[in-house]
A and B are shown apart, each in its own frame.
Chain A
Amino acid sequence: AQSVTQLDSQVPVFEEAPVELRCNYSSSVSVYLFWYVQYPNQGLQLLLKYLSGSTLVKGINGFEAEFNKSQTSFHLRKPSVHISDTAEYFCAVKGYSTLTFGKGTMLLVSP
């Protein structure tokens, strides 16, 4: 079985500040890891994914995430956020079965 924990349900931040959204997972097998973003009233779109190789993964819109196997984490970071980054962010893990999503973190960027 696999599971995902997103440690913060909401993260408020000011524009141009850095942000980190935390994600921890558990799985008994090797995993693939994903971050998806959902803008208001839209579907989910892929931000980035870790399949293998370099543990630092770069995605769209200036986001990056680091896979840490020893800490079973896959935290998402951005050095300087924009108002347009306001959205809900979902971490997801895939073992040999289907995707399991975390409950989401709402990123609220204010001026």
Chain B
Amino acid sequence: NAGVTQTPKFQVLKTGQSMTLQCAQDMNHNSMYWYRQDPGMGLRLIYYSASEGTTDKGEVPNGYNVSRLNKREFSLRLESAAPSQTSVYFCASSEGVQETQYFGPGTRLLVL
């Protein structure tokens, strides 16, 4: 049981480049989330998917898009990366939006 996995672990981008962060969970959870963590800011929700086929904006969605590919996978896309998107990105999953969330190990992204 791997739990929540994220790829890649590290990435360096130039301003304007695009990339997709991948997340997968093997716990048969219905809900999945993307957060960003910045120093002194805690975790802020970017997007979430309460169930397969649905996605909703969180607190800081601008500059990002998401795809709930199937029940297991939830990807986060940066279409045109900006230095302000330098951050650590965490994916999480839960049985439902009222349940405990389980986190992946994170992706460290640096945008130059």
Contacts and interface: CB of A to CB of B under 8 A. Distances in A.
A9 B90 contact: no
A99 B40 contact: no
B106 A32 contact: no
Binding site secondary structure of chain A: strand
Contact of A44 (B40, B58, B98, B103): B103
B37 to A, nearest CB: 8
Contacts of B102: 46
A99 B103 contact: no
B60 interface: no
Contacts of A99: 33, 45, 101
Interface in B76-105: 90, 92, 97-98, 100-105
B74 interface: no
Contacts of B2: none
A103 interface: yes
Contact of B90 (A44, A98, A102, A103): A44
A45 interface: yes
B48 A98 contact: yes
Contacts of A25: none
Give the 9 A-B CB pairs with smallest separation, nearest first. Answer: A43-B103, A103-B42, A101-B42, A44-B103, A101-B43, A43-B105, A104-B42, A43-B106, A43-B104
Given A44-B103, A45-B103, A98-B58, 20 more contacts: A9-B40, A32-B98, A36-B103, A42-B105, A43-B4, A43-B90, A43-B104, A43-B106, A44-B43, A44-B92, A46-B100, A90-B43, A94-B98, A98-B97, A99-B33, A101-B42, A101-B43, A102-B42, A104-B40, A104-B42
Interface of A: 9, 32, 34, 36, 42-46, 49, 90, 94, 97-99, 101-104
